[in-house]
Structure 1
Amino acid sequence: MLESIRESSQGTIAKVILGFIILTFAVAGIGSYTNTVDTSVAEVNGEKISQSAFDKAYQAQRNRMAQQFGQMFDTLSADSNYMANFRNGVLDNLINEKLIDQSTNDLAIRISDQRLKKTIREMPEFQVDGVFDNNRYLAIINQAGFFQSSDFRDYLRVEMSRRQLSQALVVSEFNLPYQEKMLSSLQNQKRDIRYAVIGAEQFKADMSVTDEEINSFYQENQVRFENQEQVKVDYIALDVNELAKDIQVSDEDIASYYQDNIDNYRTVEQRRLAHILVEFGDDEAAAESKAEAVLARIKQGEDFAELAKTQSDDTFSGENGGDLDWIEPGVMDEEFDKSAFALAEIGTVSEIVKTSFGYHIIKLTDVKPEKTTPLDELRDDLRVQISSEKAQDKFFELQQELATVSFEFPDSLDDAAGAVDAQVQSSAWLKRAGNAAPFNDAKVINAAFSELVLNDNVNSDVIEIGDDLVMVLRLNEYKEANVKPLSEVQAQIETELVAKKAAEKAKTVADELIAELKSGKDITAALAEVNSAFEVKADISRSNGGIDGSISREAFVLAHPTADTLSVATTALANGDQALIEVQAVKPGDAEESESQRQQQTSQLAQSAYKSYVDSLKVDAKITRRAVAEPTSIL
């Protein structure tokens, strides 16, 4: 049979079919390599903004907002419309940055290596006692996510290029003396006004609201009368801090712990070293000859630090005479380490040392001998540390037990509570946002409203709220989201509609009185009929605290009065009342000179100039935006 199949596969028809199959796979294979999915969120003049760049910027901005506004931001983030605008704002910023980067490139704005190096060395974050520390520099940029120093330099170069362009725009802005005086005069301007407040309350008794109006308002504003879904949960909480209160630590425990971890309290020998580096370059033999020549000059008595400044290819350390600061064993290249810690006396210089970086000449400049901190100096700290570690061990053990038992007995928390010696507690009513800790944590709320808890009615998984707190939840009671019945909100709606109609009546009366006033009539009697009268205020300022803010703002919007034209208007107050305002005189303010005001005005002009520049870039740019959804990592 196999022989028959083999013979049949050699035929012409079989080969044609096999050819079609191979061609199909080839085309499909090529397509899989050439037709990659475009996941970018925007494209600016042909340059894409990646989804990962958006996610990173979004997370950073969200963290800043959460840190600044706390629980208020949790409430805002529950609003889908707000978060949609928030995401668009992040994308707008990324598009603006891309336009600025393209502009700096077109303008040939460059940051030299020397300036970049000087900036890094002068950044206080990388200094110890006012001096640049290379080890601190590497540690900080690694912590920030830059695992190669070249990555950080590239990032800083971009930021400095952007700043150079923005500063060029900002520092070129200035305000002239007459502008300063004009602004100061406007800000200090005073006005004489008279105003009358027409209260809306007096019209409420005459206002009536029909059932049809109430029902219509109710139907059009369903969202306002909606009860959010709520859940009440039973829960078990394990807290490291609570467990630590019951931990007892004896002196024997402390002594044993000290001996077991003695290396942690021993400061290893440190050496302060300086070096001169000659990199291999294209000619390793030439580099070795140069290193030998430099070493010969040192042996002849030339100053090591001066030679480091002029001969070392490590320019960072070379500027400081080759100083590498304090170094422990194991930090540097193996051959470097071996030679450096073989130097016997301060001031001695090694022979030439070859590493992967090049040829080194090493000088020992200082030594800190090994030192062990005595137990008595550490006793109190060790007691706290041991207590914390024991609590963490117990916490981890109980967490595993809690996870196991709550899963094995999913229909109750009692078994799990007994297993970990905890109490089952009950929460208050919880909403999707705006709850008190620990129920303000997104992971807790997601679990409380999960299908597992609400629909399956079983225990939740263990929720890790942090390194020191875990919880397991179970449904106690649930309230679905619903619209309050009309009977419950009818009185509220009626009150609101009456207030609205009364405010509209007050506005109508005010407009009629304004028309009479403009026609030259005396409206004193008409005001009295609506329980009002003009009140005169002289020399009010823009920040006048003696009258309602809406009145003073409107007073400074109105035009200057003339012999032929009254300067009058009405404005609504926050409580629904209407104010009728007349500006009677305008008095120019004193043109005071103020350095802070000058700086503020210049800053405003500079911000406006920068915005205008970015807007001008957008005019000629080809920008394609795509809809941005909530990143899936934000939960």
Structure 2
Amino acid sequence: MFDFVRQHTKIMMGLLFLLIIPSFVFFGLEGYTRMNEGGHVVARVAGSEIKQIEWDNAHRNEVQRMLAQSPNLDPRLLDSPEAKYATLERLVRDRVLAAAADDAKLVTTDGRLARALQEDPAIASLRKPDGSLDVERYRLLVGAQGMTPEMFEANARRQISTRQVMAGVGESAIGVAAAADATFGAFLQRREVQVAQFAASDFSAGLKPTEAELEAWYKDHVAQFQAPEQAKIEYVVLDLDAVKKNTVVNEDDLKTFYEQNNAQLAGKEERRASHILVNASRNAPAEERAKAKARAEQLLAEVRKNPAGFADVARKNSEDSGSAASGGDLDFMARSAIDKPIADAIFGLSKKGDISDVVESDFGYHVIQLTDIRAPKVPSFAEMRTQLEADLKSQQAQRQFAETAEAFTNTVYEQSDSLKPVADKLKLQIRTATVSPVPPAGATGPLANARLLEAVFSSDATQQKRNTEAVETGTNQLVSARVVEYSPARTQALAEVHEQVKARWTAQRAAELAKQKGEAQLAEWKTQGEKAKLPAAVTIARDDTHQFPAKLIDAALRADPAALPALLGVDLGDQGYAVVRVDKIAPSRPLPAEAAEQVRQQYAQTWGAAETMAYYNLLKERLKVRMDVAAPAGTPAQ
């Protein structure tokens, strides 16, 4: 089928043209639009309908967002019924909160919106040195999310309003200290117990299974010995490093680059200055500020008459306790490290010894003298050549990547029976590996990418041995693979897994013997009552387990306090069996003050979350929310 399409591209395009155009003639563009407007209703909120297409679009956007954040995430996990239903619940929640905000007349003012946007780290990073917003970068930021600035701000305004609906409930919740202490006191309760353990490992040494027993066990557990499908592959990776290796930088371009950037390469100029400060808070009365300014003007006139005596005047009159003792010296500073009004004054002076006019800042009024200039050293071309070449190669590789990526994509498709043509054309290395459809836990890199593995194990790749399409496995990274050898999933023969079968049979049989021994001992001790001799008592708690298994701790702490002392058996699975005598509840250990406060805060947060959910469910009831799609089995109720 794919061969025919490749060999008859023009014929296929013509056929599709003949099929599509008449359909527009007969049904019209509006007919196609109507087909996409509808879909059946999947939920209702306050009489407003949510249709299938809105749900599909919302889930597709959610999947794209999550894959952009985590490229190695398996898309199949996001395509599950549970994941889709979670998207529908979020849609319903947004509608409920929006309707509640409208009913409560919750409006976000322009000032509130501006404060919220200023607090957003992504937007704060777009500030220019003078504090103004870089509008062009702001447009690019919101444009990457498929929105105009107006759409982005309207969405932010809506989110702020809807957050107010729930904030009042969650933030007003009160976690009573006594209730928190009682709740966590029960959770951290201590009990005195006597424990006899029957470890499975104690019963395994003498076990010698026959071949018949192993074969029977293997047949009963054959599902445990499935070998996953595997593929030996060749693959090529196109990334910025690969493009950079093939980039040759012209010597003249390097010299031009150096001349254009030598000012930045030299670093920042630093200046040293001294100042005299007359304190006057920005919020001080106008009369007080005027008086401070007049005092600064007097000091300015004094130092201009005798510039050499600036340090003496500063020591006697400056109200800056940090620099007055040193004659007002501020040491060397870069422009970016100083408040803007003072920086403008210092870097506006032309030569050493110059004195500024009176400068106003948030701290008061300053008289400033420039005392030294430290000009940055410009490194020579020879000193910078290696770094310049690396920087210029990186810039050129960034510009060339899109063009190279197109050549890569086209070549692996058009010459799909081998990766050698694309490797030769773009000077890429052909690598080899053995992969399975699901990467090992913790795997990283392109071969852990779910979309690439899905392409590798497609029928076109495994059966026809064709190159996969070019798959984007990361930022500026494309990969194509070709299956060299394919092994379908199969059941491993007993001979292949004989040692594994023996080990598992032994572990299971040892656990069974440990359980039998433990149950027999439990029955005997129950008949002996208080005369039963168990190991010495210890005190356990959830935060002091004495290294006992979690199942044992849980069983001991769940024993009915009214029925103590109690004797009980605990099946520890592969670890064996335990008999536990729970004697009594031990005195509690008081929590340190800091830990107790953390417990109370956690309790208050949990209580607030519960009240918030209860209020949300009440809103759903008031707004007559109806889900017309059944929740997948196992989905927790909201």
Superimposed CA distance per residue, residues 363-408 of structure 1 (whole angstroms, 9 cap, x where no aligned partner): xxxxxxxxxxx99799777533432355567767776766676667
Q: Does 1:586 align with 2:591?
A: no
Task: Specify the code of the residue in structure 2 equivalent to 1:145.
Answer: Q
Shift in alpha-carbon separation, 1:417–1:57, aligned structure 2, 3 A: closer
Deviation at 1:179, TM superposition (A): 1.8
Deviation at 1:604, TM superposition (A): 1.2
- In the other structure, the counterpart of 2:432 is 426
2:177–2:600 contact (8 Å) kept in structure 1: no
Task: Specify the code of the residue in structure 1 equivalent to 2:63.
Answer: Y
2:58–2:87 contact (8 Å) kept in structure 1: no
Task: Specify the code of the residue in structure 2 equivalent to 1:449.
Answer: F
- In the other structure, the counterpart of 1:521 is 529
Query: What is the distance in 2 between the residues matched to 1:603 and 1:183?
Result: 14
2:194–2:536 contact (8 Å) kept in structure 1: yes
Q: Does 1:445 align with 2:485?
A: no
Shift in alpha-carbon separation, 1:213–1:419, aligned structure 2, 3 A: closer
Deviation at 1:121, TM superposition (A): 4.6
Q: Residue 174 of structure 1: SS of its match in structure 2? A: coil
Q: Residue 195 of structure 1: SS of its match in structure 2? A: strand
Deviation at 1:536, TM superposition (A): 1.9
Q: State the TM-score, normalized to the length of structure 1.
A: 0.61
Q: Does 1:602 align with 2:604?
A: yes
599, 610, 613: which one aligns with 1:611: 613
2:456–2:462 contact (8 Å) kept in structure 1: yes
Q: Residue 558 of structure 2: SS of its match in structure 1? A: coil
Q: Which moved more, 1:605-614 or 1:196-205?
A: 196-205
Query: What is the distance in 1 between the residues matched to 2:418 and 2:68?
Result: 37
61, 64, 80: which one aligns with 1:59: 64
5 Å-filtered alignment, 1:443-522, equals 443-463=451-471, 465=473, 468-489=476-497, 492-493=500-501, 495-497=503-505, 499-521=507-529
Query: What is the distance in 2 between the residues matched to 1:35 and 1:391?
Result: 42
Shift in alpha-carbon separation, 1:122–1:460, aligned structure 2, 3 A: closer
Query: What is the distance in 1 between the residues matched to 2:176 and 2:131?
Result: 42
383, 389, 399: which one aligns with 1:383: 389
Query: What is the distance in 1 between the residues matched to 2:257 and 2:40?
Result: 54
Deviation at 1:459, TM superposition (A): 4.1
Deviation at 1:232, TM superposition (A): 1.0
Q: Residue 447 of structure 2: SS of its match in structure 1? A: coil
Deviation at 1:192, TM superposition (A): 1.5
5 Å-filtered alignment, 1:212-251, equals 218=219, 222=223, 224-245=224-245, 247-249=247-249, 251=251
- In the other structure, the counterpart of 1:10 is none
Shift in alpha-carbon separation, 1:580–1:110, aligned structure 2, 3 A: farther
- In the other structure, the counterpart of 1:360 is none
Q: Residue 547 of structure 1: SS of its match in structure 2? A: coil
Q: Residue 428 of structure 1: SS of its match in structure 2? A: strand
1:99–1:617 contact (8 Å) kept in structure 2: yes
Task: Specify the code of the residue in structure 2 equivalent to 1:484.
Answer: Q
1:188–1:590 contact (8 Å) kept in structure 2: no
Task: Specify the code of the residue in structure 1 equivalent to 2:584.
Answer: A
Superimposed CA distance per residue, residues 498-523 of structure 1 (whole angstroms, 9 cap, x where no aligned partner): 54454345445444544554455367
2:142–2:152 contact (8 Å) kept in structure 1: no
Q: Residue 625 of structure 1: SS of its match in structure 2? A: coil
Query: What is the distance in 2 between the residues matched to 1:547 and 1:424?
Result: 51
Deviation at 1:420, TM superposition (A): 4.4
Deviation at 1:605, TM superposition (A): 0.9
- In the other structure, the counterpart of 2:625 is 621
Query: What is the distance in 1 between the residues matched to 2:92 and 2:225?
Result: 40
- In the other structure, the counterpart of 1:190 is 190
Q: Does 1:536 align with 2:541?
A: no
5 Å-filtered alignment, 1:394-405, equals none
Q: Which moved more, 1:436-445 or 1:374-383?
A: 374-383
Q: Which moved more, 1:390-399 or 1:54-63?
A: 390-399
Query: What is the distance in 2 between the residues matched to 1:394 and 1:32?
Result: 39
- In the other structure, the counterpart of 2:548 is 548
Shift in alpha-carbon separation, 1:157–1:467, aligned structure 2, 3 A: closer
5 Å-filtered alignment, 1:77-96, equals 83-96=80-93
Query: What is the distance in 1 between the residues matched to 2:122 and 2:29?
Result: 53
Shift in alpha-carbon separation, 1:166–1:582, aligned structure 2, 3 A: farther
- In the other structure, the counterpart of 2:574 is 575
Shift in alpha-carbon separation, 1:500–1:106, aligned structure 2, 3 A: farther
2:555–2:570 contact (8 Å) kept in structure 1: yes
Deviation at 1:614, TM superposition (A): 3.3
Shift in alpha-carbon separation, 1:486–1:95, aligned structure 2, 3 A: farther
Query: What is the distance in 1 between the residues matched to 2:118 and 2:415?
Result: 61
- Listed as ranges, the gaps of 5+ residues in structure 2 are 1-25, 266-339, 341-377, 633-638
1:234–1:424 contact (8 Å) kept in structure 2: yes
5 Å-filtered alignment, 1:94-113, equals 94-113=91-110
Q: Residue 568 of structure 1: SS of its match in structure 2? A: strand
Superimposed CA distance per residue, residues 105-141 of structure 1 (whole angstroms, 9 cap, x where no aligned partner): 4444443444334433555544437956373784365
Deviation at 1:194, TM superposition (A): 0.8
Q: Residue 434 of structure 2: SS of its match in structure 1? A: coil
Question: What's the C-alpha RMSD, in Å, of the aligned pairs?
Answer: 4.7
Query: What is the distance in 1 between the residues matched to 2:428 and 2:31?
Result: 61
Task: Specify the code of the residue in structure 2 equivalent to 1:566.
Answer: P
Superimposed CA distance per residue, residues 573-603 of structure 1 (whole angstroms, 9 cap, x where no aligned partner): 3633112112212134255553222211101
Deviation at 1:185, TM superposition (A): 3.9
Deviation at 1:206, TM superposition (A): 7.4
Query: What is the distance in 2 between the residues matched to 1:214 and 1:523?
Result: 46
Query: What is the distance in 1 between the residues matched to 2:137 and 2:617?
Result: 38
Q: Residue 95 of structure 1: SS of its match in structure 2? A: helix
- In the other structure, the counterpart of 2:162 is 162
Shift in alpha-carbon separation, 1:522–1:498, aligned structure 2, 3 A: farther
Task: Specify the code of the residue in structure 2 equivalent to 1:450.
Answer: S
Deviation at 1:537, TM superposition (A): 0.7
Q: State the TM-score, normalized to the length of structure 2.
A: 0.61
Shift in alpha-carbon separation, 1:163–1:375, aligned structure 2, 3 A: same
Task: Specify the code of the residue in structure 2 equivalent to 1:552.
Answer: I
Q: Residue 194 of structure 1: SS of its match in structure 2? A: strand
Shift in alpha-carbon separation, 1:623–1:406, aligned structure 2, 3 A: closer
1:141–1:149 contact (8 Å) kept in structure 2: no
Task: Specify the code of the residue in structure 1 equivalent to 2:234.
Answer: D
Q: Residue 579 of structure 2: SS of its match in structure 1? A: strand
Query: What is the distance in 2 between the residues matched to 1:26 and 1:240?
Result: 48
Shift in alpha-carbon separation, 1:402–1:180, aligned structure 2, 3 A: closer
Deviation at 1:548, TM superposition (A): 1.4
Task: Specify the code of the residue in structure 1 equivalent to 2:603.
Answer: Q
1:124–1:130 contact (8 Å) kept in structure 2: no
Deviation at 1:477, TM superposition (A): 1.1
1:558–1:568 contact (8 Å) kept in structure 2: no
Query: What is the distance in 2 between the residues matched to 1:381 and 1:448?
Result: 40
1:544–1:552 contact (8 Å) kept in structure 2: no
Shift in alpha-carbon separation, 1:566–1:454, aligned structure 2, 3 A: same
Shift in alpha-carbon separation, 1:536–1:110, aligned structure 2, 3 A: same
Shift in alpha-carbon separation, 1:240–1:572, aligned structure 2, 3 A: same
Task: Specify the code of the residue in structure 2 equivalent to 1:37.
Answer: G
2:139–2:148 contact (8 Å) kept in structure 1: no
